[in-house]
Chain A
Amino acid sequence: MSAVQRVCLSCGRCCDGSIFTHANFKEHDYNNSDLINYFPEIKNQKLLSLPCRLFTSKCPVYNETRPQICQTFKCRVLHNIENGIYGEARAEELVAMLHNLVGEYRQKFEIFQNFDDNLSLSENHEALLNNKKVRKAVHVQLQFATLKFFIKKHFEKN
């Protein structure tokens, strides 16, 4: 297994809804019968909602049939490993920081309401902001902003 694959598998934040809310199915996916078994919505939807329902703490089908975008998408961290900008150790450090940021976010979030694991992190955040019983969850908002700045800087592609 390559460094890119190891780091990708140790992260999983693209799949669990921490970074994205949806992924696009690609043309190739619509004719893939194995994939349609996992994601019957391919027949009538262009978007895969995240968190991915197959994902637990890791992608269980990483080396098997996955939507094309899951096979081809590389975040900036993976690009940087591939292009020799930094090594696996720095990538692991960034992934660990991301895990911590998400963990801290959830901790602060759950002071106010339960985190819905069927929704992405952004959708949960929006639900919190729309919760009229919550007056001003400033520390959750700051944590969300920190997470977004960190993702934008280190994980989103240029």
Chain B
Amino acid sequence: MGNSVVLSLSTKIYKNKNIISNQIDGETVIMRIEENDYFQLDETGTYIWNIIDKPISVIEISDKIIEHFGISREQSENDMLNFINELSRKKIVITGD
């Protein structure tokens, strides 16, 4: 798997091992060790963060989000692709088919 930022629903993602994270009150703070910077994930981001220890496709994540948060497929898939693109661009997640 490389670090492609061209995503499709079949793209699989998982956490970059050079990232450490902490959770508090349903939210997550992640740290990129090499860059020494931090990001905060909200409740939805935290939900995704908790299910990407192993490679999982965008569509599988989307299905889980639809079930968990009760949102529409269209909204879920758009939000997911934007969010994962951002994580991938920052090398917080590894992506690949």
For residue B33, CB closer than 8 A to chain A, the reply is: yes
| Chain A interface residue bracket vs B | 10 to 19
Q: Is A62 interfacial (CB 8 A cutoff)?
A: no
Interface 0/1 of B1-32, CB less than 8 Å to A: 00000000000000000001110110101010
Min C-beta distance of A152 to chain B, whole Å: 9
Chain B residues lying within 8 Å of A101, measured Cβ to Cβ, are: 24
A150 touching B31 by the CB < 8 A rule? Answer: no
A138 touches B33 (CB 8 A): yes
- Does A10 count as interface, using CB distance less than 8 angstroms? no
Q: Among A14-22, A36-44, A74-82, A139-147, which stretch is in contact with chain B?
A: A139-147
Main SS at interface, chain A: helix
Q: B21 contacts A142, CB within 8 Å?
A: yes
Chain A nearest Cβ from B40, distance in angstroms? 5
Interface of B is mostly: strand
Interface centre among A145, A153, A154 (most CB of B within 10 A): A145
What A residues does B27 contact at CB under 8 A? Answer: 149, 153
- Picked from B21, B25, B38, the residue with its CB within 8 Å of the CB of A150 is B25
B-facing residues in A112-144 (Cβ within 8 Å): 136, 138-139, 141-143
Question: With an 8 A cutoff between CB atoms, is A47 at the interface?
Answer: no
A145 contacts B29, CB within 8 Å? yes
B20 & A138 in contact (Cβ 8 Å cutoff): yes
Closest to B22 in A: A146
- A150–B22 alpha-carbon span in the complex (Å): 11
Q: With A138-B31, A138-B33, A142-B31 known to touch, is A150 a contact of B24 (CB < 8 Å)?
A: yes
Across the two chains, which residue of chain A brings its CB closest to B37? A145
* CB neighbours of A142 from chain B (8 A): 20-22, 29, 31, 38
Q: Is A70 an interface residue (CB 8 A)?
A: no
- Residue from B24, B31, B33, B38 having most chain A Cβ neighbours under 10 A: B24
A-B contact pairs, 9 of them (CB 8 A): A97-B25, A138-B31, A139-B20, A142-B20, A142-B22, A143-B22, A149-B29, A149-B40, A153-B27
